[in-house]
Amino acid sequence: MSNQSDRNHHHHHEHSPIQQYQWLPNWVTARFHFLSHSHGHQDLITESAFQKNQEGIRTIWIALTILMVTALLQLVIVYFSRSVSLLADTAHNLGDGLNSIPLLIAFYLARRLPTRRYNYGFGRAEDVAGIFIVLSIAVSAVIIFTQSFQRLINPQPLNNLGWIAAAAILGFLGNEAVAILQIRVGKKINSVAMVADGQHARTDGLTSLAVLAAAGGSWLGYPIVDPIIGFLIGIVILFITWDAGKSIWYRLMDAVDPELVDNAEKVIVEIDNVIAIRRIRMRWVGHSLYMDITICVSPDLKTSDTHQISEQVRHALQHEFANLTDIHVHVDPWVDEIYHDMTVGYDPLPTLMIEE
């Protein structure tokens, strides 16, 4: 029965979907370690990382296209309306759309192989790009607060209200479409930088709504509506800035959701012959998850047996965590004596005993 199960398992990996990329150029397959003679778990993990990176790049290009088309259509409206204020808002949206370029560069950098200096590769560039995105969101809040304050002190009626309302609706729809796309894909591939970029697009959509509200207020004869709506939207953008900044901070500080650690523990305790878990450490590098696990087993087991146990742990965790890119499993003997007496003071994490 066990042999049949092993044959079925092996058959599953022989027909890995990674074969669909055999048409790619050699430099691409070499860069992503697509080895034609092996289709094990590591190949599946590499394939998954490749697909998510490609999905991220494709999403950013689609977002840039939508934003550029939106800006161009707004420029057409500016040409016919001759509205200077609308031109400034369009230029602001166009500049904010270009803020996706650092994230796009980061996703392209993540395709590079690790080097002796960058041992973990270049995935961290994605989180660094998130810093610029959060700063851009904060700048948007400052701009809208400044403009709202100026209009509160010196309220002015708007001209070409129909054109301004049309451009505002167009700006909102374009930015909201990008926000929905990037936030959805960002959550799917666990890219907090892409989610932050989507939130940035949403702030631009809210800014366009503020322009629409200003046009409505002027049409009703109440220009004071413009700065009031502006202040309210500015407050919303501040909350968005806080949420995006907190997410990027977590990534840069190697923080993970404690639920991930709990899930890893639940998986490991189900593995036969694992007596205790001495360490579970995780970190995100971009949208890739790395793990460092230390387990304890009986010292009476042979080296080949302990290696098999560690492989079982790797196998189970690879199935549990879709974004797991690399995992290191260290095996300690579980006895009363201390086998790591020279380094015992360097391990701050407690040991989790597994009940038999």
140 or 196, greater pLDDT: 196
Tokens matching residue 161: 């209200």
CB atoms within 10 A of CB 187: 13
CATH architecture of 40-252: Up-down Bundle (1.20)
Q: What is the pLDDT of residue 79?
A: 76
Q: What is the pLDDT of residues 135-188, one digit of tens each?
A: 988 888 888 788 778 878 877 666 677 787 888 888 889 999 999 999 999 999
Judged against a pLDDT cut of 70, whether residue 7 lies above it is answered with no
Q: What is the pLDDT of residue 280?
A: 92
139 or 83, greater pLDDT: 139
Domain ranges of the chain: 40-252, 258-353
Helices (H) then strands (E): counts for the chain: 11, 4
Judged against a pLDDT cut of 70, whether residue 217 lies above it is answered with yes
pLDDT bracket for residue 351 (50, 70, 90): low
* Identical fold, 40-252 and 258-353: no
Amino acid at 300: D
Work out the end-to-end distance of the chain between its first and last CA atoms, rounded to an integer number of angstroms: 26
Q: What is the pLDDT of residue 349?
A: 53
- The overall average pLDDT reported for the chain is 79
**CA-CA distances (angstroms) from residue 299 to 30, 149, 274, 304, 334?**
40, 72, 11, 12, 6
Q: Where are the alpha helices (DSSP H) in 253-345?
A: 258-268, 303-320
Q: What is the pLDDT of residues 25-37, one digit of tens each?
A: 444 444 444 444 4
Q: What is the pLDDT of residue 266?
A: 93
Q: What is the pLDDT of residues 238-272, one digit of tens each?
A: 998 999 999 999 999 999 999 999 999 999 999 99
Neighbouring residues of 241: CB distance < 8 A, sequence distance ≥ 6: 134, 137, 138, 141
287 or 10, greater pLDDT: 287
Residue labelled with tokens 């729809």: 173
Q: What is the pLDDT of residue 24?
A: 44
Q: Tell the burial category of 305 from Cβ atoms under 10 Å away from its Cβ (0-12, 13-18, 19+).
A: middle
Q: What is the pLDDT of residue 271?
A: 92
Q: What is the pLDDT of residue 33?
A: 42
Q: What is the pLDDT of residues 290-304, one digit of tens each?
A: 999 999 999 889 999
79 or 242, greater pLDDT: 242
- What SS3 class is residue 325? strand
Record: fold of 258-353: Alpha-Beta Plaits (3.30.70)
Average pLDDT over residues 36-45: 48
* Range in 147-156, 185-194, 198-207 with the lowest mean pLDDT: 147-156
